[in-house]
């Protein structure tokens, strides 16, 4: 009996120890994987009234952009400074494609060794030769830091000069919080970007057909080199392209991943589905798996909740204003020829993204006029959040005048500072006076822009105008002088006649008769002499 009691007590103690151990283990597991503060960072698009609510994710910054309209469908902490790691190589590859012949040879220097120990590389050696094409695939698929340095030196002369090119290109694209200091993305305090900017850079790169081919390639075989007698096979590190991966998604068309301990995981992903083309950006999330999962969440949110209208319109019976769902410009149109209401010409296009349930006519349409240009800009927006652009032609009086319309990034606050005073809503065409003012300003701007573009022709034209005006004035002066002389002769003749009449009035009859006889005798004498 005592033995059974001891055995039961032992089993009970063991059970208690096991239970406490499991509880401690569970508590330890929970403590190791808490929800990060970044989970609660602001999702800017969720703040828009009526906007589909995007998913909450752990990434510190994220964005989904429509590649056609440029509209940000999802934006979380999108302009905050983050470190990009190897997604930097999207910009590196873009500059490579813009400045190099893919079939040109490259010979590497010892710059290939100037990378962090243990970082991603392909063992390129100084003096090794291959093609630029081999490098492009090695950089994008295998994330080769050594090749990135080699390309930077080949394109710009040095890594530092290439970083300057990267920053100039980023500024031209419209980036608002980006500074590059190297071509590979290894951590540096002055090498940073943001989700908004990476989406812009990715969009610019995706416009290049060669880039689309490279980023969507699963495997690439690099031929033998002068220092390596074996072929090398590069495999794409983006797991969402791999049909054998748990993260595979059929709509993924390419992308680039990155990781350093300082940057954590970063990911850029391109996707196409049902006519929509999106790019998703994930910055600073803990774990490659988490980056793929959250990319899937935000991009499927983009595919499932938005309409993208992206079409180029040829000649049509519709008016341009009807096509873009814009109010017809008021009473001014009544004073115009029928050409004003003519259908849109070839070259009209619309590219705009908005949530399902919205109508294009409900969106705001903002216009502006660029200084020194006939261009007019219009952008679709919702609560000042840019959603796309339109372009078309309208016909004032005689001859078509083309108006180009666009909207800046929601974060590029100073992009249109040069045109703010010229802002003009097309809805403000309420009378002929306003319309005439627009035509006058357009004509003046057109003249000034042409003078700036062709100063030599402008000087010659001005000289010709001065000559013509001078000749015209000379003719006017000569004509006026001739008229003045004629008038003077007439006045003198009239004065003499008046004086003669006054003399005759003072003469007697005998004096008049004597004068007449003298005049007749003089006339007779002249006849005899002839």
Delimit the CATH 3.40.710.10 region(s) of the chain. Answer: 40-305
pLDDT in tens, 381-420: 999 999 998 876 544 433 333 333 334 455 544 333 333 3
Query: 428 vs 496, which has greater pLDDT?
Result: 496
pLDDT at 172 over 50: yes
Separation of alpha carbons 444 and 325, rounded Å: 29
The β-bridge relationship of strands 61-66 and 72-76 is antiparallel
Q: Which CATH superfamily is domain 40-305 in?
A: DD-peptidase/beta-lactamase superfamily (3.40.710.10)
pLDDT at 438 over 60: no
Exposure b/e, 229-262, CB count within 10 A at least 16 = b:
eeebebebbbbbbeeeeebebebbbbbbbbbbee
8 A C-beta contact, residue 60 and residue 79: no
Q: Which of 90-99, 231-240, 300-309, 468-477 has the lowest mean pLDDT?
A: 468-477
Q: Which residues of 26-44 are buried (b: 16+ CB within 10 A; e: fewer)?
A: eeeeeeeeeeeebeebebb
Helices H / strands E in the chain, number of each: 12, 15
CA-nearest of 222, 177, 184 to 200 is: 177
Mean pLDDT is highest, among 205-219, 319-333, 472-486, 495-509, for: 205-219
In this predicted structure, the answer to whether residue 181 has a pLDDT above a threshold of 80 is yes
Here the tokens at position 194 are 């943001």
User: What band does 446 get if pLDDT is binned at 50, 70 and 90?
Assistant: low
Digit-coded pLDDT (tens) for 232-244: 999 999 999 999 9
Distance CA 377, CA 391 (A): 8
Active site residues: 86, 89, 143
Q: What is the pLDDT of residue 504?
A: 74
Three-class SS string for 415-456? CCHHHHHHCCCHHHCCCHHHHHHHHHHHHHHHHHHHHHHCHH
Q: What is the residue whose two structure tokens read 């930077």?
A: 152
């Amino acid at each position: 009996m005592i033995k059974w009691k001891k055995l039961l007590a032992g089993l009970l103690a063991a059970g208690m120890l096991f239970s406490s151990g499991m509880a401690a283990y569970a508590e330890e597991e929970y403590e190791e994987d808490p929800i990060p503060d970044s989970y609660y960072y602001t999702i800017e698009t969720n703040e828009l009234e009526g906007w589909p609510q995007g998913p909450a994710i752990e990434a510190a910054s994220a964005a989904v952009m429509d590649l056609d309209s440029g509209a940000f469908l999802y934006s979380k902490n999108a302009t905050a400074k983050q470190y990009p790691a190897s997604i930097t190589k999207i910009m590196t590859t873009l500059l490579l494609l813009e400045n190099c012949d893919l079939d040109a040879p490259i010979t590497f220097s010892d710059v290939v060794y100037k990378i962090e120990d243990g970082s991603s590389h392909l063992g390129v050696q100084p003096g090794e030769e291959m093609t630029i094409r081999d490098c492009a695939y090695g950089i994008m698929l295998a994330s080769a830091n050594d090749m990135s340095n080699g390309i930077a030196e080949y394109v710009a002369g040095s890594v530092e000069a290439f970083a300057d090119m990267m920053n100039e290109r980023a500024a031209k694209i419209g980036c608002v919080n980006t500074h590059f200091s190297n071509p590979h993305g290894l951590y540096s305090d002055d090498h940073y970007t943001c989700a908004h900017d990476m989406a812009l850079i990715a969009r610019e790169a995706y416009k290049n057909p060669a880039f689309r081919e490279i980023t969507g390639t699963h495997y690439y075989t690099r031929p033998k080199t002068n220092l390596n007698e074996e072929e090398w096979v590069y495999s794409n590190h983006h797991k969402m392209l791999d049909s054998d991966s748990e993260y595979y998604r059929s709509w993924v068309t390419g992308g680039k991943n990155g990781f350093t301990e300082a940057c954590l995981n970063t990911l850029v992903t391109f996707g196409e589905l049902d006519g929509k083309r999106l790019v998703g950006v994930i910055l600073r999330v803990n774990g490659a798996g988490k980056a793929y999962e959250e990319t899937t969440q935000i991009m499927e949110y983009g595919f499932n909740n938005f309409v993208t209208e992206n079409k180029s319109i040829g000649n049509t019976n519709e008016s341009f204003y009807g096509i873009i769902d814009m109010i017809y410009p008021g009473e001014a149109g009544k004073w115009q020829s029928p050409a004003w209401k003519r259908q849109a010409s070839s070259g009209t296009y619309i590219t705009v993204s908005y949530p399902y349930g919205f109508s294009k006519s409900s969106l705001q349409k903002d216009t502006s006029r660029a200084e020194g240009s006939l261009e007019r800009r219009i952008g679709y927006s919702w609560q000042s959040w840019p959603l796309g652009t339109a372009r078309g032609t309208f016909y004032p009086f005689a001859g078509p005048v083309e108006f180009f319309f666009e909207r800046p990034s929601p974060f590029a606050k100073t992009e249109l500072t040069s045109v703010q005073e010229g802002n003009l809503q097309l809805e403000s065409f309420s009378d002929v006076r306003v319309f005439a003012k627009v035509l006058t300003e357009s004509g003046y701007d057109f003249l000034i822009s042409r003078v700036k573009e062709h100063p030599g022709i402008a000087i010659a034209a001005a000289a010709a105008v001065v000559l013509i005006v001078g000749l015209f004035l000379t003719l006017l002066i000569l004509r006026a002088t001739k008229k003045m002389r004629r008038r003077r002769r007439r006045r003198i003749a009239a004065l003499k006649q008046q004086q003669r009449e006054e003399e005759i009035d003072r003469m007697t009859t005998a004096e008049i008769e004597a004068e007449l006889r003298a005049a007749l005798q003089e006339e007779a004498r002249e006849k005899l002499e002839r």
